[in-house]
Chain A
Amino acid sequence: MSRPLRSLLPSLSAYLFAGVLLPLAATTLAAAAIDYTEQAFQFPASVENLVVADTNGDGLNDLIAVVDDSIRIYFQSETGFDFEAGFDSVQLPGTAIGWDLSTSYGAPGQAALIALIDGREVLAWSIDKHSITPPVSIISGLGGYLAQGINRLHFSRDVNADGLADLIVPGAGELQLYLRTSAGDYSQPLHIKSDVQLRANLETRELERRVGQAIAIPALQLRDINADGADDIVSRTEARLDVFLANPGAATYYASTPSFTLDITAIEERLGEFDVDNLDFSNLTGVLALTHEEILEDMDGDNIADLLLREGGKVSLFGGSSLGIDMSQPRQVLRSSGNVLSTFLYDENEDGLKDLWLWRVESISVSDLFVWLALSGSVAIEAFIYPNEGERFARRPSRQITVELKFPSAIRMATSLREIRNDNLDARNRPATPVRIADLDADPSARDLLVLINNEVSLFLNSIEPEPAQRPFLGALGYSRQRNNYEIDVREVIDSLGAESNPLMTRVENRTPDRRIPLGVSVNIGDIIPARLNRDARDDLLVFTDLNHSHIEGILLLSNDANAR
Chain B
Amino acid sequence: MSLPFPSRAAWARPAYLLMLVLQLASTAFAQGNYTAFELKRSDNFEPLFTEDMNGDGALDLVYAEYQEGIGRELLVYLQLEDGSFDATPVHVEVKTEIIAVGFADLRPTPGTELLLYANNGVYSLNALQPGYAGNIRQLVSWNLIASMPSLERVEFFDNVRDLNNDGLIDLILPGIDSYGIFFGKGDEQFELVSLINTSNESTEVLARQNARSRFSANVGINAEEGIVLRVTANARTPFTDFVEQWQEDTAKSALLQAERWMPGLITVNLNGDALLDLAYVNVGEDGLGQLNVHLQQADNGFAETPDWFCSVDTRGALRFVDINLDGLPDLLRMRGEGDESVSQFFLNRDGQFDLQKPDQVMRFSGYDVRLNFLRLEAGAAPVLNVSYYTIPVVDAIRNASINRIQLLYGNDQAETGQLFNRRPDSRLEESFSAANVRGLSEQMSLRFDVDGDGRNDALYITDNGTLAARRIEPDLQIAATPFWEYVSTRSVFQFDVLSLNADSMPDLILRHGTATSVLVGHQ
Contacts and interface: CB of A to CB of B under 8 A. Distances in A.
Nearest to A496: B231
B256 A146 contact: yes
A474 B401 CA distance: 37
B317 A206 contact: yes
A20 interface: no
Interface centre among B153, B241, B255, B291 (most CB of A within 10 A): B255
A213 interface: yes
A200 interface: yes
Contacts of B253: 218-219
B371 to A, nearest CB: 14
A203 B119 CA distance: 15
A294 to B, nearest CB: 14
A525 B159 contact: no
A173 to B, nearest CB: 3
B73 to A, nearest CB: 15
Interface in A142-178: 145-149, 151-158, 165, 168, 170, 172-175
Interface in A410-440: 411, 414-415, 417-418, 420-421, 423-425, 427-428, 432, 434
A157 B143 contact: no
Interface residues of B, number: 105
A392 interface: no
Given A213-B145, A370-B401, A476-B225, A418 B338 contact: yes
Contacts of A405: 229
B99 to A, nearest CB: 7
B221 A359 contact: yes
Given A211-B264, A471-B224, A527 B238 contact: yes
Given A210-B264, A215-B259, A375-B397, A50 B242 contact: yes
Contact of A101 (B205, B248, B401): B248
Contacts of B243: 49-52, 529, 531, 542
B227 A220 contact: no
Contacts of A83: none
A327 interface: no
A198 B150 contact: yes
A414 B231 CA distance: 13
Contacts of A479: 226
Interface stretch (A34-42, A272-280, A455-463): A272-280
Contacts of A425: 213
A220 to B, nearest CB: 7
Interface in A455-508: 471, 473-477, 479, 488, 490, 493-494, 497, 502
A544 B238 CA distance: 10
Contacts of A17: none
B306 to A, nearest CB: 14
Contacts, number: 338
Interface string A258-276: 0000000100000001111
Contact of A219 (B68, B143, B255, B338): B255
B3 interface: no
A187 interface: no
Contacts of A205: 266, 319
A147 B245 contact: no
B231 A103 contact: no
B259 A101 contact: no
A81 to B, nearest CB: 14
Nearest to A100: B246
Contacts of B221: 341-342, 344, 359
A219 B152 CA distance: 20
B231 A154 contact: no
Nearest to B159: A203
A329 interface: no
B205 A549 contact: yes
Interface string B271-283: 0000000011100
B257 to A, nearest CB: 5
A476 B227 contact: yes
Interface in B471-502: 490-491, 493
Contacts of A373: 391, 396, 400, 402
Interface residues of A, number: 128
Interface centre among A345, A374, A434, A493, by most chain B C-beta atoms within 10 angstroms, is A374
A147 B259 contact: yes
B57 interface: no
A436 to B, nearest CB: 10
A522 to B, nearest CB: 16
Given A95-B176, A211-B174, A411-B391, A49 B152 contact: no
A190 B144 CA distance: 29
A408 interface: no
Contacts of B227: 381, 403, 474, 476-477, 488
A215 B393 CA distance: 43
A432 B237 contact: yes
A474 B225 contact: yes
A16 interface: no
Interface string A114-150: 0000000000000000000000000000000111110
B326 interface: no
B157 interface: yes
A423 B155 CA distance: 37
A202 B174 contact: yes
B131 to A, nearest CB: 21
Interface in B423-458: 433-434, 437
Nearest to A279: B513
Given A101-B246, A149-B176, A371-B396, A96 B147 contact: yes
Given A111-B246, A497-B232, A527-B242, A212 B260 contact: yes
B222 interface: yes
A45 interface: yes
A147 B147 contact: yes
Contacts of A165: 248-249
A11 interface: no
Contact of B231 (A369, A493, A531): A493
B356 interface: no
A346 interface: yes
A51 B244 contact: yes
B512 interface: yes
Contacts of A208: 281, 314, 317-318
A207 B281 contact: yes
B202 interface: yes
B70 interface: no
Given A208-B318, A477-B227, A367 B434 contact: yes
B13 interface: no
Contacts of A542: 243
Contact of A493 (B229, B244, B437): B229
Contacts of A233: none
A374 B389 CA distance: 13
B185 interface: no
A553 B239 CA distance: 11
A147 B256 contact: yes
Interface string B387-400: 00001110011001
Nearest to B214: A424
B252 interface: yes
A202 B155 contact: yes
Nearest to A422: B337
A209 B279 CA distance: 12
B15 interface: no
Nearest to A278: B513
29 contacts: A45-B205, A52-B244, A95-B147, A98-B256, A149-B260, A158-B249, A202-B99, A202-B146, A208-B281, A210-B262, A211-B145, A212-B262, A213-B146, A215-B148, A215-B259, A222-B251, A274-B513, A276-B491, A357-B223, A367-B434, A375-B396, A423-B233, A424-B233, A427-B212, A432-B237, A494-B231, A527-B238, A544-B237, A547-B205
Q: What are the 5 tightest A-B residue pairs by CB atom distance, in nearest-first order?
A: A173-B151, A374-B396, A212-B261, A204-B264, A474-B226
Given A170-B255, A218-B255, 12 more contacts: A95-B143, A101-B246, A154-B256, A373-B400, A428-B212, A428-B213, A434-B239, A473-B225, A477-B227, A542-B243, A544-B237, A544-B239
